């Protein structure tokens, strides 16, 4: 991108950060809010929005509070996506820097493993895993995290290669620094900003993938609320109560858009010359 | 080089031999992982497939037929041997050969993926060229913001909203289902259009951004200025001179997107109830139809690897500069 990155992101960035902050607070403090349980009916099915006071978003097909399910769903979406992104970023970052540092045989082995992971269609592999392993937050974080190691590793490797022959690294080596020091004190700190800003963009992708899995019914098992499952259940009532689908759709879109906006801004600041790494 | 001591001695191979070895290693890992899916299952696969009411005789019969009880190396070699001869075993559900079942479903997925790539290119090429031609202009700002917004729409959100707007509210398109080509092209396209658009929503920004960036860079080249001084019309320069060098990366990216859609159409196929590969995967999962799931995963993965290799090769053939790395 040749857009000159603005240091201050403008209104869009503030709105995006604000939405993510609000969502994070709601997800963390969901237990403190006076919300009905997300998996128990609170009234008749398919109540329209704004019909009664606490249920400003109405109720779903079996009378559960849409507002409560939306906020509880945010907690699950954020937990899975942030957990999986952290796992992928740490593992991928380490592997990438190692590949750049070791070169030779180790680099080839890491490359083959990463290419094999890349070759698997993510959604299909996750579906196949769901057929054999019971899905839950832990398995989802682990499988999503491992699947998305390669892009992080590639990014970290490029970042490490760019720093390998910098004066400070060569100087440290000349001073007799060991492998550990060279890797962890000299090379890695420089690779953290690009990896971290890419992680924010990847978190957006993780939310979409987690949503797709829940939508297909192989994500977090019901009755736990999740946005994808809410959309899947609501689509049967699309003609009479479209808000059952449109509200979680909007929540998901805003969240993904916010992660993308913040992530792209961070990436432009960290590495103004970087194109789209995907 | 900082870590010369740690690096193992490099085997000197030709570039193509190295690439072939790499490809073989990747394929080995891919097939190993697909075969190992069974071993991730808690308990015996036969028990999971047949359910708690199965008698020991039924379990033993299924173990004998599908070889679930044999050790991993034996099962793996047998399965890979079958894969090489085009025999992926039989579906647990239908008893039909897995390969035949997959090939039967392939055209539907192929069609919506191709349509989706076509729609993406149709939108991305003019918008990418014109927005790259005037960076920061009104069109560019709208297109850039629009691309970011489109990128943030998960495919099922796009699909559900499209169904709501174009099928339920206006009735222009059917809500779900499929008409094969034998029912007539118009009827077929009427069913294929919404799924293809839903897929295209997320992929258009990828192509658009790639092209826009390319156009911006190409416009700084000398030959563009020469063309402009010759008094050629701007539109002619943009589409004949500027678009041409971007054709290769664009086609490459379109191929990658196509590969991604082949496997990524599961959600759309579920939403629109299409009888494609994704629908097959979704049927096979609750039934624990392991041979079908393994076959799907490994075939898509192999397709992906081969497409990537062809794209790589295509690059070296078409653009000699990429030969020397």
Is A274 within 8 Å of A194 (Cβ atoms)?
yes
Span A178-198, average pLDDT: 85
Q: pLDDT category, A69, cuts 50, 70, 90?
A: confident
The one-character DSSP state at A271 is -
Mean pLDDT of B88-94: 80
Asked if the Cβ–Cβ distance from B304 to A121 is below 8 Å, we say yes
pLDDT at B42: 66
- pLDDT band, residue A51 (cuts 50/70/90): low
Fold of A66-277: MetI-like fold (1.10.3720)
pLDDT for B323 beyond 70: no
Q: Which uninterrupted H or E stretch holds A228?
A: helix A227-234
pLDDT tens per residue, range B166-221: 888 887 888 788 888 787 788 888 888 899 999 999 899 989 988 998 888 888 88
Question: Would you say residue A84 has pLDDT above 90?
Answer: yes
Q: What is the pLDDT of residues B266-289, one digit of tens each?
A: 889 988 888 888 888 888 887 778
Picking from B27, B26, B32, the residue whose alpha carbon sits closest to that of residue B76 is B32
- What is the rounded distance in angstroms from the CA atom of residue B201 to the CA atom of residue B81? 40
pLDDT-wise least confident of A7-16, A73-82, B220-229: A7-16
Residue A56: DSSP 8-state: T
- Best A107, A119, A247 residue to mutate vs chain B (most B CBs within 10 Å): A119
Residue A54 has pLDDT above 60, yes or no: yes
pLDDT of residue B319: 65
* Contacts by B95-101, CB closer than 8 A, 24 or more apart: B98/B291, B98/B292, B98/B295, B99/B295, B101/B280, B101/B292
Region A164-178: mean pLDDT is: 84
Please state the rounded mean pLDDT for residues B112-127.
92
pLDDT over 60 at A166, yes or no: yes
Compare CB distances from A112 to B1, B22, B308 and report the shortest one's residue.
B22
Q: How many CA atoms lie within 13 A of B129 on its CB side?
A: 20
Report, as an integer, the average pLDDT of B141-149: 89
Chain A contact set for B26 (CB, 8 A): 112, 115-116, 119
Q: Which residue has the higher pLDDT, B294 or B325?
A: B294
More confident residue, B54 or A235: A235
Flag if A119 and B30 touch (Cβ within 8 Å): yes
- The rounded distance, in Å, linking the Cα atoms of B1 and B7 is 10
pTM for the structure as a whole? 0.83
pLDDT score for A3? 47
Domain ranges (residues) in chain B: 18-84, 98-324
- Inter-chain CB proximity B301 and A119 less than 8 Å: yes
Tell me which chain A residues have a C-beta less than 8 angstroms from the C-beta of B311: none
Domain covering B98-324: architecture: Orthogonal Bundle (1.10)
Phi, psi of A7 (to 5 degrees): -70, -45
Which residues between 157 and 186 in chain B have a beta carbon less than 8 angstroms from any beta carbon of chain A? 157, 160-161, 163-164, 168
User: Between residues 3 and 62 of chain A, which touch chain B (CB distance below 8 Å)?
Assistant: 3
pLDDT tens digits, B3-40: 444 444 444 556 677 777 778 888 888 888 888 877 77
């Amino acid at each position: 991108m040749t857009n000159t990155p603005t240091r201050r992101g403008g209104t869009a960035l503030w709105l995006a950060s604000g939405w993510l902050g609000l969502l994070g607070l709601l997800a963390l403090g969901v237990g403190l809010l006076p919300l009905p349980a997300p998996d128990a009916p609170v009234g008749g099915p398919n109540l329209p929005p704004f019909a009664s006071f606490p249920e400003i978003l109405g109720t779903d097909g079996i009378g559960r509070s849409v507002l409560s399910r939306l906020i509880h769903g945010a907690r699950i979406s954020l937990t899975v996506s942030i957990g999986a992104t952290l796992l992928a970023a740490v593992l991928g970052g380490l592997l990438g820097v190692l590949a750049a540092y070791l070169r030779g045989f180790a680099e080839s082995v890491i490359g083959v493993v990463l290419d094999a992971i890349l070759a698997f269609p993510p959604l299909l592999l996750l579906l196949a895993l769901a057929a054999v392993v019971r899905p839950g937050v832990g398995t989802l974080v682990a499988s999503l995290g491992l699947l998305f190691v390669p892009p992080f590793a590639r990014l970290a490797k490029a970042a490490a290669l760019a720093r390998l022959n910098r004066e400070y690294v060569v100087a440290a080596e000349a001073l007799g620094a060991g492998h550990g020091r060279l890797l962890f004190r000299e090379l890695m700190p420089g690779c953290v900003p690009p990896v971290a800003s890419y992680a924010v963009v990847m978190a957006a992708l993780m939310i979409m993938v987690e949503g797709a899995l829940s939508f297909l019914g192989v994500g977090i098992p019901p009755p736990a609320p999740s946005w994808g499952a809410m959309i899947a259940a609501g689509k049967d009532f699309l003609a009479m109560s479209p808000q059952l689908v449109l509200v979680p759709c909007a929540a998901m879109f805003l969240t993904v858009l916010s992660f993308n906006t913040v992530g792209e801004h961070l990436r432009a600041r960290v590495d103004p010359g970087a194109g789209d790494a995907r | 080089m900082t870590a010369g001591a740690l690096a193992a001695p490099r085997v000197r191979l030709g570039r193509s031999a190295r690439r072939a070895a790499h490809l073989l290693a990747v394929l080995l890992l891919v097939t190993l992982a697909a075969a190992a899916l069974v071993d991730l299952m808690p308990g015996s696969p036969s028990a999971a497939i047949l359910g708690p009411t199965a008698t020991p005789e039924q379990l033993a019969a299924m173990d004998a037929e599908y070889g679930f009880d044999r050790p991993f190396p034996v099962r793996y070699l047998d399965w890979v041997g079958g894969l090489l001869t085009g025999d992926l075993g039989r579906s647990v559900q239908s008893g039909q050969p897995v390969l035949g079942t997959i090939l039967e479903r392939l055209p539907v997925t192929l069609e919506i993926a191709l349509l989706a790539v076509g729609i993406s290119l149709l939108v991305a090429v003019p918008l990418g060229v014109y927005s790259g031609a005037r960076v920061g202009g009104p069109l560019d700002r709208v297109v850039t913001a629009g691309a970011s917004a489109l990128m943030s729409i998960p495919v099922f959100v796009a699909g559900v909203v499209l169904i709501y707007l174009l099928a339920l509210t206006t009735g222009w398109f059917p809500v779900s289902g499929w008409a094969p080509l034998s029912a007539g092209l118009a009827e077929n396209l009427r069913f294929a259009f919404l799924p293809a658009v839903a897929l295209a929503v997320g992929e258009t920004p990828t192509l658009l951004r790639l092209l826009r960036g390319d156009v911006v860079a190409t416009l700084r080249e000398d030959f563009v200025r020469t063309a402009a001084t010759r008094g050629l019309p701007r539109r002619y320069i943009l589409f004949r001179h500027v678009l041409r060098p971007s054709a290769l990366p664009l086609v490459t990216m379109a191929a990658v997107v196509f590969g991604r859609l082949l496997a990524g159409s599961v959600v759309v196929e579920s939403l629109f109830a299409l009888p494609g590969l994704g629908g097959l995967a979704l049927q096979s999962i609750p039934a624990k139809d392991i041979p079908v799931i393994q076959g799907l995963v490994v075939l898509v993965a192999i397709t992906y690897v081969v497409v990537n290799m062809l794209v790589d090769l295509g690059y070296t053939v078409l653009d000699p500069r990429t030969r020397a790395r």
